[in-house]
Amino acid sequence: MRNRNTFHFSRAGRSASALVVLTVGALVAGCTSGTGGDDAERLEATAPELEGSPAIQYTGSLDGPDGDGPAGEGPVEVDIEVTNTGEAMGTLTAPDGEEFDYLAMDGDEFVWSESGSWGSLGIEVEDPGMYEGMPLMLPADALGLNLSDVLAPPAVAARIEEALSNGDASVGDTVDVDGRSAVPVTVEDATYYLAEDDSDGLSLLRIEFGEAAAFGAGVFLLLPIARERGEKFYYDFREKLETVENAADPKIHVATKELRNPNVCSPTACTFVLRVTITYLGSASNADGAAIVEYTFDVTRDGVQVDSSGCAGSVTIGYNKSADLTCNATAPNPPAGNRTFEFLADPHLTVIVLDEEEYRDYLQKEADNREKVFAMYD
């Protein structure tokens, strides 16, 4: 199955760009006590540890620029697992309690829920009913950051290494992080909480991004994912990856215009032409993309269904371009004495976000990355 969006001449969808920041509950911490040599070295040592981490669970919340969430109604809670190679899966919980499935593959993010109440995540769509029960492919700016890109273990490691190369580290007083004593080490726009003990697990327990971070302030708890759970992750991930083959993109706007000429209709045949224009409302970097549009027309004459077998097809339309869809419908001879007739056409368009090749690439990359991640457990 692919994305099946039904349009009656003109439907459109768009996603509001919402700057999102990350935050969690209060944290008791001491004041900064100065620069730290040994602790900075310990922080630096976490980079290779992260680079070799197969998968990490992150819990926290997303907050809007005004501190009241993307939709202005409160924070969005996050509970996701991110692998070393960037596959991610979990849940986003909106302020109203609505839970959304979240999945990321190859840098693309998807969310979906049973209700499809996208507004509670700060995502605006012109026709919410059109997306009911369907996954949405999130544009790069939908949540203010790409969770899988920012939180993949190697990405966190690279951030630490870059920060240490650009600035000095300052060390705060010991605090409690999820039942473990930790020392906060601040470098540039982030504070990293390092475990004081030698217990099994990551030595990096928590990341707190300051307001200077590109995506705003926020905090995440980190928990390592053991092999058994990592294997289950990929089992569930492949199943959900099949779901997003149906994904819609709210930044694809579809406009239609009927071009039918009444002179091309006779009592037994009629030709309809529908001009379809695809506009991408997202990043200019995707402006050279295209959408596959499958179409059918339901045609009636005087309220009775007629043969519309010549009214179906598929066409690829580039973003910001148009194509004309033609429907040639036929009908039997009208009843004797019937001198008037009326043909009506109801077009249905299916906009496919992922073509077969792109989806096959997803499946192949998932299989390749799964092997890489499992090898890290050995």
pLDDT digits (tens, 9 = 90+) for 102-116: 999 998 999 988 776
Could you list the beta-strand ranges (E) of 108-232. 108-112, 136-138, 170-172, 175-177, 180-187, 190-195, 204-209, 218-224
Residue 271 has pLDDT above 80, yes or no: yes
Of residues 143 and 320, the one with the higher pLDDT is 320
Residues in contact with 30: Cβ distance below 8 Å, sequence separation at least 6, in sequence order: 172, 173, 174, 175
pLDDT at 56: 94
- DSSP assignment, residue 30? P
Interval 289-295 mean pLDDT? 85
- DSSP assignment, residue 31? P
Q: Is 375 helix (H, G, I), strand (E, B) or coil?
A: helix
Of residues 307 and 64, the one with the higher pLDDT is 307
Interval 366-375 mean pLDDT? 95
The tokens describing 253, both together, are 């706007």
| Least trusted range by pLDDT, from 129-133, 196-200, 288-292, 327-331 | 129-133
Q: What is the mean pLDDT of the chain?
A: 79
Of residues 33 and 232, the one with the higher pLDDT is 232
Q: Kindly report, residue by residue over 142-177, the tens digit of the pLDDT.
A: 677 788 988 999 999 988 888 888 777 888 889 999
State the Cα–Cα distance between residues 179 and 79, nearest whole angstrom: 19
Domains of the chain plus CATH, in order, are: 16-247+365-377 (2.50.20), 252-352 (2.60.40)
State the Cα–Cα distance between residues 305 and 57, nearest whole angstrom: 55
Instruction: Kindly indicate the confidence band of residue 239, based on its pLDDT and cuts at 50, 70 and 90.
Output: very high
Give residue 210's region: left, alpha or beta (phi > 0; psi -120 to 50).
Answer: beta
Of residues 282 and 364, the one with the higher pLDDT is 364
Percent of the residues in the chain that have a pLDDT greater than 90, as a whole number = 31
Q: What is the 3-state secondary structure (H, E, C) of 325-343?
A: EEEEEECCCCCCCCCCCCE
| Least trusted range by pLDDT, from 11-15, 333-337, 356-360 | 11-15
Could you list the beta-strand ranges (E) of 21-123. 21-22, 32-35, 55-63, 76-83, 88-93, 99-105, 108-112
- The burial of 76, by beta-carbon neighbours within 10 Å (0-12 exposed, 13-18 middle, 19 or more buried), is given as buried
pLDDT at 26: 27
Instruction: Kindly indicate the confidence band of residue 259, based on its pLDDT and cuts at 50, 70 and 90.
Output: confident
Rounded to the nearest 10°, the torsion over CA 229, 234, 240, 242 is -160
